[in-house]
Structure formats: C-alpha cells, structure tokens
Structure 1
C-alpha cells in the first residue's frame, strides 16, 4: 500500500497536526505501507525525524506567488492559494498511483481535495473544525463533542465514512502499551507535568512556571517539556534551574513522563488525548479559539478540568492548581473517566478501516472443505484449540455442512493475492459474535494475525452491520493470542476479550 500525507508544522501552525500524522504513518509503515510526507512548512528537526524513521519527505516551494489566498479562516497557514498548493502537490505525487492520500490541514478544503483525486484511489481528511466542505472517502475527527454525529452534516459526500471521537485518537504505540500498565490516579500529587505544545510561541510555559513558583512545590517534582524551537528556550531552562524543576527539550519520552505524573497543566489539542489515555488529571488551558468547544465539552464529560474564566493566566493556573491539589476525589474521577474514553488503540481502528493489510476476505465455499480439514487437524492449530483431538473426516463433513447452511455462523478465508493465509470464524448471537482465528499452518507469512483479524472485522462491519460487538475466548496458556487481541483494540472483560465495532 502507498500512502501520501499532506500536512505542515510551524511556529504558527504548531506541531500537533504533524505528530498525529506521524503516529498513523508509523503504524502504516509497520504493516508494510510506503509512506511519503508532503509539506510546505516543516522545521528541520522534524524533517530529520522523518528521515530517521524511514519515511519519504518532499518539500513544496515556499516562494509565495501573486495569487490571492482563499477565504478560509486559516488560509494564511498555507502561504499560497489552494490552487497553487494543489498544482505543487500533484507534481510531487505524479510518480505513481497512491492508495490513500491523507490530508491534515485547516487551510485545505474540497477544492484542493477534488483536484488531487487524479493522484490517489482514496482520500482521508483529518479535521477538528467542521468549518468547510470536503471531498473525501473517510473523515477522522478524534475530538469529543456533544454533537459529534451532526457536526459534519452536509459537509462531506454521502459515501464518506466518518470516524469520530477519542476512540480514534491518533496516539503513538507507546501510549497504548502504557495504558495497559498504569492505574487511575489515587493519593496525593507528587509529580506535576507542564506542557503547552511543541511550539508555544507565546511562552505560556514560562507563565505557568511563574504561577507554580508562587504556590510552592516543596516535596513535589515538576517536569517542564518544551519543543526544540521554543522562542524562550534559554529563559525556560534558567527558570527551571532556579526553581528546581526538570526541563525536557524535544523529548521522546513524553508517554513515560505522562505516566509518571499525578497532575498535568497544559494546552488542548492532541496532547489532550495522550493525557487521557494514561489517566493523567489535567488543568487544561484553552489557547486557541478553535479549541474552546473541544475543551469545554471534554470538561463537561469529566475527561479534564478547565475552568470557564477570563482571569489572567497566572491567576487561573495558581488558583485552580491549588484546588486540584486539594481535591483527590476530583482527580481520581477525572483519571478514571479519561482512561475509559481513550484506550490508545485508535490507530489500530483507523488502519483497520483503511484496509491496509493487503488481505482480501472471502466467504468459504464448498471447495474449501478439504483445506479446512487439513489445516484444522494440524498439530499447531489443535494445540491452541478448545478441542485438541484429531477430527475425523466424517465429523468434519457434518460440521462443515452445518456451518455452510447456518445464518449465524460466518466462515471467512483471508488471502493475499490467490494465496490463503488464514481462517476466521464468527458465531453470531443476537448483536454480538464470538471470533475464532488461525493462520494457515506452515505458511511463511508470519506476523499476519492482526492484519487478518482487522480485515475480517472490516468485512463484518460492511457485510453484517447488525453485529456490534465481537468476543474472543483464549486458552490461558495461549499468550500469542492474548497479545493478538489486546493489540487489536480488544478489552479484557472477565475471561473474554471484547471489542465494539
């Protein structure tokens, strides 16, 4: 699969759009996709990051022309007209057909997307604003809004697939892993994390440090995180030394810092869902008009704490940090609700919807009976099955005939090209189904279990939308299967793995 990504990062735009695209690109690349980033504005350290991670990068000409900018609220972010950007993007993507074009940019709308149709099979838009028309096949808005389902009405084509809410949050895989390890916060606050985004052009970080110093952090550790391009970098470093805080510059340990903290102070945006994933109670400060609804609705739902006030930032931070330090019940409540809302498996869900695996699913037919009999009796398959005994041919024929006639049993084979790689069975019960899965024995395509499972889930969502939940029962000693389901966005409930489609 070939995936192109159009996004920018700068002191004006910030780094959030780029970082969430990178989280998606990393998982796509892990699954064998070829990825190419296309940017007009991207700092050198982020270009180096892409090169280090093995992603292609193409830079668009930053020279502005005389064509007027469009009327969109964020048109100035682009620096050129959409028509010019579309022409430039088409030129750098004309060296082959792309399976997906992902665009994450507030300054681009249906005009740019329609022009780029010639370069790609499908277009995915990542948006937060719902303030313009789109021509796309999939739209992702990872934010929580009280009216999520209605925000994009009449703004997308009728065929467009909507992925809405923080269950689709674009988080790096370390957040998913730590989500399963950390616990909701209890007890007193021993460690505070301060982070106002990768750029923080107005130095909210410095003002937060000043506010905390007035409270007095005796006995508490304060971690302050800034980006490599922070405009007051040396000033922040000096302030941290003065107050005994720890300053982290362009850290790659953000997930670990969040997991270690008991309270966070920071901006909205993508970091909101990182903190929620790790159950970190947060005093969230709205720094941009386009974050007001997101933060207010998330606070109303109990995912974070954000007071509605017009007071000076230092006063807000000082007053409400003290309030949170003194209110263990509120911190515990926020931590639990936040962790429940964001499980860190959003990227897995999105990739499943994109059909990235390259695996085609088909229903089993009569010609498959002998192959299923041979595979099912393989010692490696029997060893992880509920029934480990050899199955007789006569018994298999009866089972297969019954399965083919049943409306509640779905048998699928996954294939790459014409080569079968695995079998997935769904046994339906009311609105749920129990899944059973195995890879074709002695096939050389190891590591395809998760891709096979996600492809089967996508088939179910399209062909059997009446199935809303999938359950899986795994033998206690089958560690591989346990990891498979946990890594595919299933949650553990009693002795089962459960996933909502």
Structure 2
C-alpha cells in the first residue's frame, strides 16, 4: 500500500496485533549494517539496546554488524561484543568516518539534528530511522520504524517519503524475547515484584519506587520478594544497595544479562514505559507503568486503554505512599493481573526484528555485487 505524501505502509495491519508467524529471511550474504546510537546517564540505554536487537538479528540472517557510539558505557560495549557486534567508539558524536562501506545504516536517537541526518541519508546505503514521536518536521531515509503500541502510519503523513513500519509487530527486541512464554500463574497475592526504571533513571526515581515497594511489602506479607534492576548507565547503584539494606526479601541487581527470566518469574512489574513495555508485553507480565520523560506518557496511556497495564502517570508526580497503594492494589487483585497478562501477550511476539529485516532486505541486497 502506498499513501501519497506519507511514505509507504509496508503491509496491511501493521498497527494491529504484534503476534503471528516469523517471516522467512533471505541470506544477507555478509551485508554490512552500522547502527548509530548513544547511551548514557541522561538519555538512558534504550536507543542502544534497540539497535543491538536489530544488529543481533542481522547477524543471525548472515550479515555483518557494528555499533557506532559516543561514550558507550562499558557494560553495553561488553554486551555488544559478546553478541558478535563490533563496536566503533566515537570521540566526536558528529563523526561520520564509520559511514563508509555500509549496506544499511540504522539511526536511533532524538539528539541527531537535521543536518547530520541529511548527511547520512545522502550516503550510498539506505537509511533506517528508528523513531518514537513522529515529531520531526521531516524524517529522511528509506525506512522509518516506530514500534510503539500507539504508532500509526498516519502519524508520518507529509513528514517522510520513507517506507513506514509502525506498531508493535515491528518491536525491536533481542532474540531471547521470542522464547516460548511459560504458563503464568496468578496467585491470590502477588509474591514476586520486579522494579524496572530504565537503563539510566536520570531523575533518580528508583529510590522512591523502592520505598513504595517496601511499604507495600510491610502492608502485605504475601508480597515476599522485591527485585530492583539498576540499569547499566545508572550511577546510583551504591545508594540503592544501601537503601535495600540487609533485607533478604529485596534484591538489587545490576547489568542483568537474562532479563527474560526475571520478567517470567515476576508476578507483577513496576516499570518505566519506554521500550521495556514491549519486552514485558512479550512475556505477558502484569504492569504498573510510569513515565520518566514526557515521551513515555503515550505508551503508558495506550497500554492502559487496552487493558494491558495500569498507568501511574509521571513518576515525578508520585510519592512513595500513593505508588505503594497502587502496588498493593494490583498485588491483591489476581483477576486484574490475569486480564492484563492475557491482553499484553497478544501485542508482541518477539519476531519484530525479523519482520523489519524482511522488509529492508530487498533494498539492501540490490546494492550487493
């Protein structure tokens, strides 16, 4: 389907359910992908993690992949290299020496300006833009991916000539999120609570959320286990470990490698509503969602409207008492947790990267000798 003035919608139903069969991929025959994305205490780690998901899928399809990044945290560098993704450190974020000799360039980040993006779009390789807000006046490139639950192709009307891949069927998740989901039980009182506040938590809300969880646990002894994941770019690890103290019912985890198992083991989750929402949906996890930044309001609102989560609002507007009451309410409501889990599981199936690669592969392979 081609819609004049708004790019191309790559297939019908691209904003509906994110579940279905994974596409069969052609061999990429060594085609070269460079992902340009940054991470840090201010912008978090989500841009890089989505880029790594695409890069890992690219490798599985027979291509080569590298990550070009400015001031990449060591934990993310190690993760990339362990997956076979080469890392190209950038002393200057505007450096483009990495741009040569690519078959596809993928860019993820809201800090890249129009001039920089125009330079990338003018290169030999097709440009794939990963976007969340459809707020740019013009989105350059050959492809745009917006995998959010609220994303619609129509959001890009008059803003791009690119092919638009919109909605959670194109969720850029790492391969492990396509693993079969174990049968989820919903006990009368949730026993295991998982806290996920993003890769950086620049506003420092993790301490408030942890205090709220501790309050809920004191009010409901059945809520026996609290796990707080401290992201790779979060500098507050020591303070949060101190806040947890010697309480054996609280575990503070850092630089987690197996996030899927943590999500599968949790009876409920309090999370920031960035890309983690799609990861949790793929596991059918009941969610309380707050926003660390304004861009996270829309995903939380949409998940709430679908019945797949409860929206808390901006974390900055919440105190430990009100958040604790929300935690306690969901912990004591197995029927609502079960309904959330069922709905969330219909949204994302973990095959989004394969769908993106299937759409871009013909353009990429046409460049190969």
The TM tier, using the shorter chain, reads 0.7 to 0.9
Q: Distance in 1 between matches of 2:232 and 2:320?
A: 24
Q: Kindly indicate whether the alpha-carbon contact (under 8 Å) linking 2:76 and 2:232 is maintained by their aligned counterparts in 1.
A: no
2:54 paired residue number: 24
Q: Kindly indicate whether the alpha-carbon contact (under 8 Å) linking 1:27 and 1:347 is maintained by their aligned counterparts in 2.
A: yes
Structure 1 range deviating more: 279-288 or 113-122: 113-122
The 1:327–1:166 alpha-carbon spacing in structure 2 relative to 1, beyond 3 Å, is same
Q: Distance in 2 between matches of 1:152 and 1:332?
A: 35
1:101 paired residue number: 105
Counterpart check, 1:35 vs 2:65: yes
2:340 paired residue number: 334
The 1:357–1:128 alpha-carbon spacing in structure 2 relative to 1, beyond 3 Å, is closer
Q: What's the RMSD between the two structures over aligned residues?
A: 2.3
1:6 to 36, 56, 71: 36
Counterpart check, 1:151 vs 2:155: yes
Q: 3-state SS of the aligned residue for 1:162?
A: strand
Counterpart check, 1:48 vs 2:78: yes
> How far apart are residue 240 of structure 1 and its match?
2.7
Q: 3-state SS of the aligned residue for 2:183?
A: coil
> How far apart are residue 9 of structure 1 and its match?
0.4
> How far apart are residue 338 of structure 1 and its match?
0.3
The 1:275–1:142 alpha-carbon spacing in structure 2 relative to 1, beyond 3 Å, is same
Unaligned runs of 5+ in 2: 1-30
Counterpart check, 1:297 vs 2:302: yes
Highest relative contact order (Cα 8 Å, sep 6+), 1 or 2? Answer: 2
1:390 paired residue number: none
Map residues 14-413 of structure 1 onto 2, 5 A cutoff.
Answer: 14-62=44-92, 85=94, 88-89=95-96, 91-94=97-100, 96=101, 98-132=102-136, 133-145=138-150, 148-157=152-161, 160-177=162-179, 180-188=180-188, 189-215=190-216, 216=218, 218-219=221-222, 220-244=224-248, 245-308=250-313, 311-355=317-361
Q: Kindly indicate whether the alpha-carbon contact (under 8 Å) linking 1:183 and 1:279 is maintained by their aligned counterparts in 2.
A: no
From the CA coordinates, give the structure whose radius of gyration is larger: 1
Q: Kindly indicate whether the alpha-carbon contact (under 8 Å) linking 1:267 and 1:285 is maintained by their aligned counterparts in 2.
A: yes
> How far apart are residue 29 of structure 1 and its match?
1.0
How many positions carry a matched residue from both structures?
331
> How far apart are residue 21 of structure 1 and its match?
0.7
Q: Distance in 2 between matches of 1:274 and 1:351?
A: 19
Q: Kindly indicate whether the alpha-carbon contact (under 8 Å) linking 1:33 and 1:356 is maintained by their aligned counterparts in 2.
A: no
> How far apart are residue 128 of structure 1 and its match?
0.1
The 1:184–1:227 alpha-carbon spacing in structure 2 relative to 1, beyond 3 Å, is same
Q: Distance in 1 between matches of 2:90 and 2:260?
A: 32
Unaligned runs of 5+ in 1: 63-77, 79-84, 361-415, 418-501
TM-score by length of 2: 0.83
> How far apart are residue 195 of structure 1 and its match?
1.1
Q: 3-state SS of the aligned residue for 2:119?
A: helix
